[in-house]
Amino acid sequence: MTQTILLVDDDPDVLTLNMTVVEENGYIPILAENGEKGLEMAKTEHPDLIILDILMPRQSGIKMYRAIKLDETLKNIPVIILSGIAQQSFQKSQETLAGFSGSPVPEPEAYLEKPVSPAELGSTIRRIIGPAKNE
């Protein structure tokens, strides 16, 4: 069965570009325009991978990432953070939130800073979930 990838980003141009990369690499994209919708879709669709932006309205990617990694049914879904925010800033935010909740979360499987080339995104996806399994 072909793997599904949940793409969560509030920028329609980024979603379109990422959707094209996902489709060209043989995977099925699922789209969400914010963290709130992305979390709902993760719970209903159980994708094989999530590609997540950080700065979004209606629940940031930071909160969505924590929610995924602290949820027993979702925590094993690999996540690629794809953001214009530096990785160090993301890590500091996670450390701060862990201090408030007492619950640290693991680092994402990959952190890519925008802009990212289609080739780099495609190779990162394949490295994490393997080549597309076409039916």
Give the pLDDT confidence score for residue 105 in this predicted structure. 76
Residues 116-125 pLDDT 10s: 999 999 999 9
What gap in Å lies between CA 107 and CA 68, rounded to an integer?
A: 12
Give the pLDDT confidence score for residue 74 in this predicted structure. 98
Average pLDDT of the chain, as a whole number? 90
Average pLDDT of each block of 10 consecutive residues along the chain (135 residues)? 94 96 97 95 98 86 90 97 80 68 80 94 97 79
C-alpha R_g of the chain? 14
Cβ neighbours of residue 13 closer than 8 Å, sequence gap 6 or more: none
Give the pLDDT confidence score for residue 135 in this predicted structure. 52
Give the pLDDT confidence score for residue 104 in this predicted structure. 74
Q: Which domains does the chain have, with CATH numbers?
A: 4-129 (3.40.50.2300)
Give the pLDDT confidence score for residue 96 in this predicted structure. 72
